[in-house]
Chains A and B, each alone.
Chain A
Amino acid sequence: AQTVTQSQPEMSVQEAETVTLSCTYDTSENNYYLFWYKQPPSRQMILVIRQEAYKQQNATENRFSVNFQKAAKSFSLKISDSQLGDTAMYFCAFMKQGGSEKLVFGKGTKLTVNP
């Protein structure tokens, strides 16, 4: 079974600064996907960024980037130029490759961006 661990229950950052959220996972699979989802107070799940395990290059989406270390089973999220709208819960998630597979979520990190 796969597990996802987020060791930071809460974090805070000043507006315009950079913050990194940590995530580690455990799996015996070789092919899989990793995700970071954002859940604002509305509770709608929003995909922030995805990474295919077979790709060595780290994924980036505007101010969001990941540091994917496959051997270490680590998948951290870096948010640059933090904005007030980034305040939310952030969940790291794992999905096996294969189609219509379930997502396994970490416990989440509550990020607060301070003005």
Chain B
Amino acid sequence: GAVVSQHPSRVICKSGTSVKIECRSLDFQATTMFWYRQFPKQSLMLMATSNEGSKATYEQGVEKDKFLINHASLTLSTLTVTSAHPEDSSFYICSAPPAGGAEDTQYFGPGTRLTVL
């Protein structure tokens, strides 16, 4: 089956620094990728939709200047958490529907655990 990878799998950073998380589709192209955040014992909440070659679409309440998204190629989207604070500590998951594939199909990355000290 199709594979989506995320890097790093876990990261610890100091408050005020920026962290970049990569989401890659390894064996398919994706014009769209989705970024979710999951707090402990909670559900996945969509943060933004990443669109290849254009600006990301952010969900209501998500600060676009804090969570920078770049979808520079058909296989890579990055999420940069700028000036991270402890409240940004969470599990970040990406998913990607394959371009030209079945419209109800999405593949999930394994997630990135971010801890901000």
Residues of A whose CB lies within 8 Å of any CB of B are 33, 35, 42-45, 50, 52, 91, 95, 97-108
Contacts and interface: CB of A to CB of B under 8 A. Distances in A.
Nearest to A93: B44
Chain A facing B: main interface SS: loop
A52 B110 CA distance: 26
A102 B46 contact: yes
Contacts, number: 47
Interface in B27-63: 31-32, 34, 38, 42-46, 49
Nearest to A101: B103
10 contacts: A42-B110, A45-B93, A95-B104, A99-B103, A100-B32, A102-B46, A102-B49, A105-B44, A105-B45, A108-B42
B46 A91 contact: no
Contacts of B44: 45, 91, 103, 105
A103 B111 contact: no
Contact of A50 (B32, B49, B95, B104): B104
Contacts of A104: 46
Contacts of B38: 43
B31 A100 contact: yes
A99 to B, nearest CB: 4
B106 A103 contact: yes
Closest 10 CB pairs of A and B: A45-B108, A99-B103, A100-B32, A33-B104, A105-B43, A107-B43, A105-B44, A43-B111, A108-B43, A100-B97
B43 A102 contact: no
A44 B34 contact: no
A29 to B, nearest CB: 13
Nearest to B59: A102
A4 to B, nearest CB: 9
B111 A102 contact: no
A104 B106 CA distance: 13
Nearest to B97: A100
B43 A103 contact: no
